[in-house]
Amino acid sequence: MVLHEAALWTLAEAISTSPGLLLTYTDHDHLDKAGLPTDPWFLPGWNPELFSGIGCLSALVARHPDVKTRGIPDLDPQDVLHLPFLLASRPGPPPDPPPTSSHRSLDHSSVVGRVSVLIPTRDQGRLLGVCLSSIRRLTTYPDVELVVIDHETTEDRARQVLDDLANDPAAVVLEHRGPFNFATLLNRAAEAASGDILVLLNNDTEVVSPEWLDYMCHHFNRPEVGIVGALLLFGNDTIQHAGVHPGLGGLMGHGHKHLLSDDPGHLGRLRVPHRVAAVTGACLAIRAEDWRAFGGLDEELAVAYNDVDLCLKARESGLAVLLEPRAVLRHHESISRGYDDDPVRRARLQTEVDRMKRRWGDRLNADPAYNPNLSFSEPGFTPASPPRCAPPWRLDPSG
């Protein structure tokens, strides 16, 4: 390993100003056969699930003597500091991403109770039928309740799907009238749900991986996990959602968007569960008790950002938000309600953006999955040019 000439000074400076730190790590790159730096690894903030999953942390790590393990320790984020600077170089190419075979099966005896899947819907009977059929036909999780809340459906095909569902003893069908409000619909559905875990699910989704709920819900055996999201694909099997990142393409954006479904992602993260700033409410799991503690979804955020707001509340309370890439669904995005492309919808969207900025301020920009050296241009995870993060040292050009 080759250290940057400012590496030890930068580490010492950081540790001396924060003496309670248990672990400090930096970014690093790799040296090709000619000894030239290549393949920078811009690591995220403390993300133990990611680092454990990909099997490595950084080329340069300073550990407190109390940290005995040489692996990825189980530490609180406040005990860890990430210095987002390329302070070391590893000889040779970067390691290969974790193999797809790491998507090992789960112990189904570790179920966490009943899961209530909350599905708001309006018309689009074909889509709703596909969604419900895929849940019933593929899902391996043993205790699932369907709670479907309808918003003024008039389409005959959709009405037939809802009427048939009403005869299912494992389902609840609710009716709601009035202006469309995604948050209100899901809050009402949650009130009628009996599950220990609530899963928000759009009606234009389709289950791909049978163990989707098993993979998402087993994380709730860990008390530090608050919310879990799924990997969502477009109809052409490219990625639609693999976590929400502040600043990416606007206020919030989806990382890895339009990459192929089998792409390992930045640092191999799409092969392992990992922490993210937020996940989309198109498929989001949360404990029912946490949902109630956070007050459900903010109904002033009628359509956009209510899911992000919920994730920020979870993180502010000390809970982790995870992306579980082994839970895979297709998402025919916004087919039911359309896109925000008319003046009324654009005005509503701006109102919701303003509300989020007032509520969260600078906290809106904190992202445990992203590195300040990376670009905000979608699909993300490429080096920013020019860099967004200035190093703390100022080297004397005279040597």
pLDDT band with cut points at 50, 70 and 90 for residue 343? confident
User: Cα-flanking dihedrals φ and ψ of residue 293, to 5°?
Assistant: -65, -35
Angle 310-321-378 (CA atoms, 0-180°, nearest 5)? 90
**Mean pLDDT for the chain?**
91
Q: What is the pLDDT of residue 60?
A: 94
Averaged pLDDT, 143-152 = 98
- Give the domains, in start order, of the chain with CATH numbers: 2-95 (no CATH), 110-364 (3.90.550.10)
pLDDT band with cut points at 50, 70 and 90 for residue 104? low
Q: Does residue 190 register a pLDDT over 60?
A: yes
C-alpha to C-alpha distance for 46 and 69, rounded to whole angstroms = 16
Residue type for position 243: G
C-alpha to C-alpha distance for 40 and 51, rounded to whole angstroms = 16
Are 194 and 144 within 8 A, CB to CB?
no
The reply to whether omega before 379 is within 30° of 0 (cis) is yes
- Residue-wise pLDDT for 130-142, tens only, equals 999 999 999 999 9
Q: How many CB atoms lie within 10 A of CB 22?
A: 17
Task: Report the percent of the chain where pLDDT is more than 70.
Answer: 93
Lowest mean pLDDT among 250-254, 313-317, 320-324: 250-254
How many angstroms separate the first and last alpha carbons of the chain? Answer: 22
C-alpha to C-alpha distance for 45 and 96, rounded to whole angstroms = 21
- Residue-wise pLDDT for 34-60, tens only, equals 999 999 999 999 999 999 998 888 899
Averaged pLDDT, 227-241 = 96
Q: Which residue from 161, 159, 96, 108 is spatially nearest to 135, judged by alpha carbons?
A: 161
pLDDT band with cut points at 50, 70 and 90 for residue 334? low
Q: How many CB atoms lie within 10 A of CB 258?
A: 13
Averaged pLDDT, 203-227 = 97
Q: Which residue from 361, 226, 384, 376 is spatially nearest to 293, judged by alpha carbons?
A: 226
Q: Which residue from 205, 249, 252 is spatially nearest to 231, judged by alpha carbons?
A: 205
**b/e string for 79-115 if b means 16 or more Cβ within 10 A?**
bbbbbbbbbbbbeeebeebbeeeebeeeeeeebbebb
- The β-bridge partners of 176 are 151
Q: How many CB atoms lie within 10 A of CB 149?
A: 23
Q: pTM to 2 decimals?
A: 0.93
